Structure 1
Amino acid sequence: MLPVDKILKRVARSPALLAVIIYALPWLALVVLGILWLAEHDWLVPFVGITLGLILLLRLTLLLLGRMRQQRVATPVDGDHSPIVTANPEWTARELAVFQSLCAGIPREPRPWNDLRPLALELVEQAAQRLSAGQKGALDFSIPEALLLADRVLIRLRRNLHDMVPFSDRVSLKTILWTWENKAWFTHGATALGWAWRAKRLLSNPPAAILQEIQAAVTSSGDGGEFRNFSVAIVQQILLEEVARAAVDLHAGHLRFTDEELLEIELGSADLDKQMLAQPDEPIRLLVIGQVSAGKSTLINRLAGSAIAETDMAPTTPGLTRHTIEIEGMTYSVIDSRGIDGTDETAQSLLSQVLECDQVLWILRANRPARAPDVELLQMVDAAFATRPLRRVPPITVVANAVDQLLPDWPYPEHLLPIEAQTTIAAVSAAICADLSCREAIPIVAEGQIWNLDQLTAAIANGASDALATQRNRRRITGAETSGSLSRELSRGASGIWEAGRLAAGKLFGR
């Protein structure tokens, strides 16, 4: 049989090889045409020179990395086993030597996690024996000393999490546990996405996809496993070195139950907690809600004691207007909202404002029985907070404005209301409370002869404590939405990546 026939017969028996040849032929033709084009334009020699230079540079880089790895392997054991965890600066030279000796004995290869407990106990035992000349064992320490040690270790752990792990103070343990319990689904999802990407790559560029699959099959001989084993070994080494550090602290007498130690730990906790403190209270966000021309702007002017809100430019406040006023010593940021007009757009806008406020002042006109838009909006508010069980509902003060419009003999001398007027006002307030499911609707007159404004001011001030509690709850749940929060989380992530990279480089190249 001719050699050509043998080649064709073997190619026919291998569909994969045949596919590679078929897909490679157009690219091979393109390479030939490209070389001819370079030769025609006298660019072939520079192209070959640049290519050879890049290949030489790559080879030198790989050679340098290989030499560094060889030097790392050839480094003496003492230098290779330098601790990752920093030593206690208060240790004596003998205690430091014991710590370094314990760290040198920690295995550098990954071990089953169940083996870490006996290894840790052995480290504690060795520390106790060496530091006490054989007089103490692994568990010869008091409960107060153990509690002090736990407090110190937890402070370091909290600081590292806060400085290097983004959103570590916002992700709940419930979410982490759920993710761990469903990790199989995440693995399947990642696998499915990988196959989908490979299919898309195959459809868009078959030759490149096939060559990349071949390259991946050739170069994936254990690289992922080596990296995973390296990462596990580093984590286990850090854990065991933390145990060794704690054992030296315990058995060298650095954790005595003294006032100085307690003060130091308390101050250390306070310094860290200062970074985690909630932001100081902001002015109370008092949202004023009501239908068109319910008297919102007029009432804001009365509360402020001056004309800070426009009352005669338009029948409703366009958008949102914010005013800062003082009510019985408390600072309020009063938000004058657009009037309720029965449209879904306005209702949704006001609902979003209620979710972001601390206290609500809901104004209705006593002489306007059409309260269906108010009832509908209040039902939306109740439903929104029902889906947010962790959020506090802002205190709502309901006001029945313009009660004078129901009293034909208004104003009365010295505001002494006759029985008939009191009965009318009480009936209106009861009707409003029945519609809005509130306990009280404070009757007032905000225009002309002002009446009962002191009672309203007192009611607003009495709700200040609940309003501040609502503000703190809202800021805690929503993450306080401060400017630069994303940049701060990115900075924390960058710190963690930098430390991990520095650690990996140090272990790989001995630096």
Structure 2
Amino acid sequence: MKRIVGPRRLLWAAAMALGALPFAALVPLGLAWLWQREELGVWLVGGSACFVAAGVLFRRAARPLSGANGSGNGSGNEASDDTPPEAEWTPADKIAWQRVQGFARRASGAMLMDQHSLMAVAGAVMEDVARHYWPDRTEAVWHFTLPEALLLAERVAERTRTLTVEAVPGSRSIRLDNVMRLYRAKQSVAAAAGMFSGPWRIGRMTINPVQALAAELNQRVRGFAAAGLSSLMLDRIARIVIEEIGREAINLYSGRLRADLDELAGLQPAAVAPSAAGPLPLRIMVGGKVNAGKSSLVNALCGEVVAAVDVLPVGDGATSHAVGGTGDRPELELIDCAGLDREAAIPKLTEIAQACDLILWAAAANDGARDLDRRLLDAVRAHFAAHPSLKAPPVLVALSHIDRLRPFTEWTPPYDIAAPSGRKAEAIRGAVDATAEALGVGPDDVVPVRLDAGALYNVDALWAAVAARLDEARQGQLIRLLRLAGKGGGISEVARQAVRGGRLLTGLVIDGIVGKK
């Protein structure tokens, strides 16, 4: 921003002063008018009553925050004031956030006035979150790497700068030396005002005792109301500070700072590397029993197979198909599992599911035997429940072979299963509800489709269902990639870092020798 210097600064100051003068004059003119009508005392009494009521309300509003008991459980009102956890967090993260909320409920604005109290509370929050994630570590609070700490500092600095630029008036133009000059001037003015306050109050009492008493009462009441407002605001600010400390502690100790978003792109397999202008492709596991139409489902989604390579260490039978995004359809990587016909496939299934962002399960509408499907899906759910640091991918069911439902000879799509009017539509609706109940998913998670080549039906609805789950799948993808980033630091990486560090040190030494010459 261009600075105003010289005579132009005086012109700007004069213009602003003249513009504010009419409004500033309203205060003394209004007081003079009340004085002439002998109603100044009435105004002071009425204003005092308003300030008393405001102070009582402010103190009552602040009481639930400052009156929490030491256990941190709080009352129902306090629980309702809790800030909800982030949607993308894992179950372990949400438990950590509940512990942070216990500190937030006990937060008091007084700690903001004492640096030692603030640092003690911040340290307690950090240590509690660290021990939640790493209970077996003796020094859990230090269980992070230097790059993670630097990324945390970078994130906090960036967010602070953004908040300052957007919300602090004049932050781009006001220099800190001017702020310090104004602060010193304020201290001088406050000291002078304190010297003349006593004589002024004595003189006012001598001239008009009644109005002087009303003014004293008004000043005391305004101080009472301001104290209530100040206490409420400070308690709120203290709670926000504790929550921000807890949020960053969760990011640090959960491993979310192992890599930034730019570094995560390098963790995808080369066969499905993202385009330069798009997000990382979602990895979808396509599973189901033998003869459920799984291969036809993959072909229907792919349209044209861009790549087909084994990219996951899951044994024979699992292949990856890279599908380019078009229009509103996202870029995908379909992990095509072999047909599952027994529970012995559960270890392989859970391993693939842990490496994917969404599960697309093929189930035949004309096959009522769902026991194996349910056991396989329950095994996946149990795996994620046993690992709260993971986020379970959403499950979407493609109900295939709907054309083979009764009546067998009827096939006149489209069918409105929301309000079925014919026998075929009623049969499809019944199959959707039965499949949802049998597999433990919601009816909206089951999409009826026909996947025969040349006679595809309702595949667009399946794409729409995938798109509706993109946000949840992206959240799981981020956690998955961060776990991959946490597996770095092996011997080969350390060796590369040592080589690069040696070259850098050698270059600095050579530059120093050349510089001395």
**Could you tell me the TM-score, scaled by structure 2's length?**
0.40
